[in-house]
Amino acid sequence: MAQEPVRISRSGSPVGVSFEFFPPKTEEMERALWEAIDRLAPLGPSFVSVTYGAGGSTRERTHATVARIARDTLLKPAAHLTCVGARRAELDAVIRGYWAAGVRHIVALRGDPPGGLDAPYLAHPDGYQSTGELVAAIKQAGDFEVSVGTYPEKHPQSPTLRHDIDILKRKIDAGADRAITQFFFDNDVYFRFVDLARAAGIAIPIVPGIAPVQNFKQTANFARKAGASVPAWLAERFDGLDDDPATRRLVAAAVCAEQVVDLIDRGVADLHFYTMNRADLVFAICHLIGLRAKGGRPAEGSAPAR
The tens-digit pLDDT sequence of the chain (306 residues) is 444 555 665 555 689 999 999 999 999 999 999 999 999 999 999 999 999 865 555 778 898 999 999 999 999 999 999 988 889 999 999 999 999 999 999 999 988 766 566 666 777 888 898 999 999 999 999 999 999 999 999 988 889 999 999 999 999 999 999 999 999 999 999 999 999 999 999 999 999 999 999 889 889 998 988 889 999 999 999 999 989 999 999 999 999 999 999 999 999 999 999 999 999 999 999 998 889 887 544 444 443 332
Evaluated on CA atoms 251, 254, 258, 264, the torsion sign reads positive
Out of 4, 20, 60, 145, pick the active-site residue. 20
CA 234 to chain centroid: 21
First-residue to last-residue Cα distance in the chain: 45
Q: Does 189 fall in a domain?
A: yes
Assess if residue 295 is contained within a domain. Answer: no
Q: Is 304 a domain residue?
A: no
Do the beta carbons of residue 226 and residue 156 sit within 8 Å? yes
In a domain? residue 261: yes
Counting the structural domains of the chain, the total is 1
pLDDT for 300: 42
- Reply yes or no on whether 28 is catalytic: no
Would residue 300 count as lying in a domain? no
For residue 306, the model assigns a pLDDT of 26
Quick one: three-class SS letters along 73-109?
Answer: CCCCEEEEEECCCCCHHHHHHHHHHHHHCCCCEEEEE
Give the domain CATH number at 24.
3.20.20.220
Residue 120 to residues 84, 111, 114, 226, Cα–Cα distance (Å) = 12, 12, 10, 15
Is residue 202 included in any domain, yes or no? Answer: yes
Judge if pTM exceeds 0.85.
yes
Structural domain of 89: 16-288
Residue 7 lies inside a defined structural domain of this protein: no
Position 131 in a domain: yes
Phi and psi at residue 19, in whole multiples of 5°?
A: -125, 140
CA 299 to chain centre: 19
